[in-house]
Every structure is written in C-alpha cells, then in structure tokens.
Amino acid sequence: MTLGQKIAWDDTILPFQLDNADIRGRVARLDGVLDGILKQHDYPAPVEALVAEMALLTALIGQTIKLRWKLSLQVQSKGPVRMIATDYYAPEAEGEPARIRAYASFDRDRVTGAPFNQVGDGYFAVMIDQGQGTTPYQGITPLTADGLSACAEAYFAQSEQLPTRFSLSFGKSTEAGGIEHWRAGGLMLQHMPKASPFAQGGGSGEEGLLTAQDVVDGEDAENWNRANMLLDTVDDLELIGPSVAPTDLLVRLFHEEAPRVFDIQAVRFGCTCSEERVRNSMSIYSAKDIEKMTTDEGVLTADCQFCGAHYRMDPTTLGFDAENPPDDDG
C-alpha cells in the first residue's frame, strides 16, 4: 500500500455486538477526516493530538445517534487549551456518510509539554440536538487527570450509568516515498443498558465520580471485566491499521465472545458554515458592534473556526449603515 491509497475501512465506523458478553461497541478508523480537520489550522503538536483524540471520541460516540441528529462534544478549561469543540452530523438518509468537524481555541504562548497538560480545570460536555422544535440534551462531567477518554468514560458512568471503555491510538505516519499523514483508530466497548445496581452515594472515581465498576455487578461485572482484559491486549498498530481490517481485529480480540457486526458507517470531514449562516449569526450584534467589525474599506469579514472559510460581506446588506449607524444599540 502506498501513502494516499484509500483503504476500504478508512474513515469508517463499524458497530458490533459481543453476544456472549451482552456488550456492544464500535471500531473507528479516521484517515482523511483528520487531515481535513487539522490541515485547516496551524496547531502546535500537543493541540493537534488533543483535537485528534476528540475527533476519534466523537466518531465512536456519534455513530449511535439517529438520522439527521447532531452530537457535539466540548471541553472547556482554564489551561492553555481553552476549548475544544467537535460536531458529528448524522447522515441525512440511510447509506449516506456522517460528517465530523472540530477545532480548538488556545493560548499559543502557554502550550508546552504533553497534550493533556494543556487542559486545566474545567468540564467535558456532551450535547445532542434532535433538530428544530426540540430542546437539545446536555450532560456535563468534570475534567479528570486521566485524559479525554477517561472524561468520556466518566460521563457515561455518571450521567447514563453505562459502563464504557475507550482504547484509542492516533498520530502521524510516514510511508516510503510519502509525506506525513494522519491516521487514527479506536475501539469503544459499552455494556448493554440495564437497570443500574448502583445505590445512592459517591462513586469510586476521582472526586466521587461513578466508574464502570460502580454500575455493573454479578455476571455482568464478570463479562465486563473479561472484555476489558481482552481489549487490554490490543496494540496501537492494530487499532490504527492500516493492515488489520476492523472485522479481523474483532475476531482477534473477542472471538470467544461471538462478535457480530452491523452495517458500516462512512464518515467524512464536513462543515455546515455558509454565508447565510454567518449573516444569521450577525443578527445578535448591534449596529455599533457591526461597525467595529467592519474594515476601513467598508467590508465586514468573518472566518469559520472549523474549516477556515473566509467570508466578506457588505455590512449595509445586513440592514445596518456602517457609515451612519444609529445612536442606540438597535
């Protein structure tokens, strides 16, 4: 295989179930999606790694939402990386690809050291938008010291009482005669929903958060522990590929648990920004604010944080006269 050659399982999410363990999961492989996300920005290496991890988590979690729904993950922190935001847009119709976009806001002068050192006190949020006329769902859990995957696991244990485990690998690879190329892979395990055995009180995790072990018991706990021990044997190259197909990986790891796969979901980098959306977003600003955002040449500019698209508009077409704005904020 040469660099740039598309593999059948690049940019896909494969849902599966372990019938003998009552566990479901997904295998995700991201290739062009990560390139699409990261090439829009000049991120320092630690920030790139955090965005890659969040994109992979978004793909693994997002595959479960219904058609036309939107999943958003967000990290807000007091560290050098102030925010990481990702969106997963479910397919508009069966057979169509899902879309992912992501970006980070950070203080470049403060970025140093390992990726998760860039994140300080803050929270990890999961939001699901079911569409117009509905109230979006939002769940929040504190950031922990164990990384973004651990934050996502804590969210599912705490907010959904679903034992969940992520194993992720990502980075740049270089093949003979090629250039650096992003490749990532991950596997998610989740115990099938049941009535939780957890009693009221603090969990065993950091600052009393629930963990997977707090929400399974008896035979379920044995199945969960066994599946996790098997997942612990995976190595980075198996997760990323490119030589190991997701189906082969599942058989290698879980053949005794009777893995059963479902339809694979293609995923692409995709942004929903447009001039119309930018114009609509400007409606929250006053005429004075619009004037401040207008250049000396009389042009209003706006950039999309996700894809880098640059928009230039005549402020007078927004309903304001930039040269003679009203005195009030209307």
pLDDT digits (tens, 9 = 90+) for 110-160: 999 999 999 999 999 999 999 888 898 999 999 988 899 999 999 999 888
Alpha-carbon span 237 to 91, nearest angstrom = 29
Q: What is the pLDDT of residue 160?
A: 87
pLDDT score for 174: 64
pLDDT value of residue 159 = 87
pLDDT at residue 285 in the model? 74
In the predicted structure, residue 204 carries a pLDDT above the cut 70:
no
CA 50 to chain CA mean position, Å: 10
Residues 154-182: tens digit of each pLDDT: 999 988 889 999 999 998 876 656 677 78
Contact, 45 vs 59, CB < 8 A?
A: no
* Cα–Cα distance, 148 to 75 (Å, whole number): 9
Q: Indicate whether 195 pLDDT > 50.
A: no
pLDDT at residue 140, as a whole number: 94
Question: 326 Cβ partners below 8 Å, 6+ apart?
Answer: 287
The answer to whether residue 103 scores a pLDDT higher than 50 is: yes
pLDDT at residue 90 tops 50: yes
* Residue matched to tokens 């596997």: 187
What is the percent of the chain where pLDDT is above 90?
A: 55
Q: How is 178-212 classified by DSSP, letter by letter?
A: ---EEEEEEEEEEEPP----PPSS--SSGGG---G
- Residue 234 makes CB contacts below 8 A (sequence gap 6+) with 167, 187, 249, 253
Q: So what's the pLDDT on residue 80?
A: 96
Provide the 10 A C-beta neighbour count for residue 275: 12
β pairing state of 137-142 and 300-303:
unpaired
Q: Where are the alpha helices (DSSP H) in the chain?
A: 32-38, 45-62, 148-155, 218-231, 236-240, 246-254, 275-281, 287-293
Give residue 323's pLDDT.
45
pLDDT at 2: 34
Domains by residue range for the chain, with CATH: 12-197+208-269 (3.55.30.10), 278-318 (no CATH)
Tell me the pLDDT of the chain averaged across its residues: 85
What is the three-class DSSP state of 303?
strand
| Digit-coded pLDDT (tens) for 313-330 | 787 777 544 444 444 433
pLDDT at 5: 47
Q: Which residue has the higher pLDDT, 228 or 206?
A: 228
Three-state secondary-structure class, residue 35: helix
